[in-house]
């Protein structure tokens, strides 16, 4: 529903310098189309580069009313708060956007179209896109993606929010620079907003989750030959007690390769100091064992490389962490956001 050339304003109230803003930050980093303003009262007037490290000339303003001067067409909720609920400040700016004739895109569990007051403010031809919903006509997965001739890479994480989507998008960009046909399958709100397609996995009933992934992968893989590369955004983590997303992704995508994504130096799950992250070689073995089950092709996919998130480290510490991780597990290791996806792509194609 969101076209590549539409002018966006991203609502990021308090999220520019917080993990809750990861959806909007991903849009700012990876969306190729125009983003004309960011709304974040806490950082209004400050350069985006100074606050986020993202080198993109987008003004940060205090309200939707202030953003209207930049002529946006669509207001996008860039927050991913715990519980996925719409906060009062964001709701007020969404109301202002709709009243001004803008379209709205939102990936939260709070659906704009189901809110009578907000829905009544919409003016034709503006639209409301609540992208977190279960697709119609789903079926139980049957392993059909294994018949696709293209290579399929699934990112698996040691924790949630460690950079699985970013790693896939950097790999896609590196593949295209190299002339390799590559496509990205979004499985969360940010990935879908950036690519314009995919499946919001956490909105799908568990019995149909693998089938929803399978349908999205089959659609995205149409026409990709043996040299083509399909990059499937990972969700959750096998190591997280509250996550059920990795298994349907493995079943539905039938990957040919796996990419482990980990944050440098992280020893336990974020917000759960009582739950340690297992040694990476154990996590790799678990992912590979599960990926080998439920397949008709008999393939045993391998983790080909590690994408190491070094965003919290300076250059010297990042280099040391990359070298230590590569030596520890005997696989290529790179930070694709920091250094580009070429090294990881080389490991995958090899």
Tell me the three state secondary structure of residue 154: strand
The reply to whether 144-349 shares the fold of 8-130 is yes
Looking at residue 83, its pLDDT comes to: 66
* Ramachandran quadrant class, 137 (left: phi over 0; alpha: psi -120 to 50; beta: rest): left
- For residue 12, how many C-alpha atoms fall within 13 Å in the half-sphere facing its CB? 34
Residue 276 has φ and ψ, to the nearest 5°, of: -75, 150
Structure token digits, residue 77: 């909720």
For domain 8-130, is the CATH number 3.40.50.720? Answer: yes
> Which residue did the predictor score with more confidence, 110 or 165?
165
What confidence tens digit (pLDDT) does each residue in 31-60 have?
A: 999 999 999 999 999 999 999 999 999 999
Cβ atoms 197, 232 nearer than 8 A: no
Structure token digits, residue 346: 């080389």
**pLDDT > 70? residue 296:** yes
What confidence tens digit (pLDDT) does each residue in 203-226 have?
A: 999 999 999 999 999 999 999 999
Structure token digits, residue 154: 């699934």
pLDDT (average), residues 149-174: 97
CATH number of the 144-349 domain:
3.40.50.300
What confidence tens digit (pLDDT) does each residue in 162-196 have?
A: 999 999 999 999 999 999 999 999 999 999 999 98
Range of lowest pLDDT (15-24, 173-182, 277-286): 15-24
Candidates 34, 123, 121; CA nearest to 76 is: 34
Stated as kind and residue range, the H or E segment containing 103 is: strand 103-106
What confidence tens digit (pLDDT) does each residue in 76-92 have?
A: 999 987 666 788 999 99
pLDDT (average), residues 238-263: 97
Q: What angle do CA 133, 169, 135 make, to 5 degrees?
A: 15
User: What are the residues whose beta carbons fall under 8 Å from the beta carbon of 194, sequence distance 6 or more?
Assistant: 26, 27, 30, 31, 169, 184, 186
Domain boundaries, the chain: 8-130, 144-349
Q: Which residues pair with 35 in a beta bridge?
A: 8
pLDDT (average), residues 145-160: 97
Q: Give whole-number Cα distances, 72 to 103, 118, 194, 296, 343, in Å.
A: 9, 18, 17, 48, 37
């Amino acid at each position: 529903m969101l076209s590549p050339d539409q002018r966006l304003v991203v609502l990021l109230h308090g999220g520019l310098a917080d993990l809750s803003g990861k959806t909007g930050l991903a849009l700012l980093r990876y969306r190729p189309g125009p983003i004309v303003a960011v709304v974040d009262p806490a950082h209004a007037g400050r350069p985006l580069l100074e606050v986020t490290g993202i080198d993109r000339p987008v003004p940060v303003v205090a309200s939707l009313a202030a953003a209207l001067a930049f002529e946006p067409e669509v207001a996008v909720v860039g927050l991913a708060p715990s519980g996925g609920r719409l906060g009062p400040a964001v709701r007020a700016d969404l109301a202002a956007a709709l009243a001004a004739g803008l379209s709205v895109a939102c990936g939260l569990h709070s659906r704009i179209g189901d809110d009578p007051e907000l829905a009544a403010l919409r003016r034709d031809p503006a639209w409301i896109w609540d992208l977190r919903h279960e697709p119609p006509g789903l079926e139980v997965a049957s392993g059909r993606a294994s018949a696709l001739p293209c290579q399929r890479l699934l990112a698996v994480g040691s924790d949630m929010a460690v950079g699985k989507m970013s790693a896939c998008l950097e790999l896609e960009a590196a593949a295209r620079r190299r002339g390799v046909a590559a496509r990205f399958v979004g499985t969360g709100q940010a990935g879908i907003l950036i690519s314009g397609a995919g499946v919001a996995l956490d909105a799908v009933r568990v019995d149909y989750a693998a089938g929803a992934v399978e349908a999205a992968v089959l659609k995205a893989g149409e026409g990709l030959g043996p040299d083509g590369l399909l990059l499937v955004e990972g969700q959750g983590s096998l190591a997280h007690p509250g996550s059920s997303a990795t298994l349907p992704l493995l079943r539905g995508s039938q990957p040919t390769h796996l990419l482990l994504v980990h944050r440098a130096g992280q020893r336990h799950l974020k917000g759960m100091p009582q739950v340690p992250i297992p040694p990476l070689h154990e996590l790799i073995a678990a992912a590979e064992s599960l990926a080998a089950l439920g397949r008709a092709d008999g393939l045993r996919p391998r983790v080909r490389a590690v994408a190491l998130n070094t965003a919290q480290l300076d250059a010297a510490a990042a280099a040391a962490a990359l070298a230590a991780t590569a030596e520890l597990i005997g696989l290529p290791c790179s930070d694709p956001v920091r250094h580009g996806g070429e090294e990881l792509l080389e490991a995958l194609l090899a």
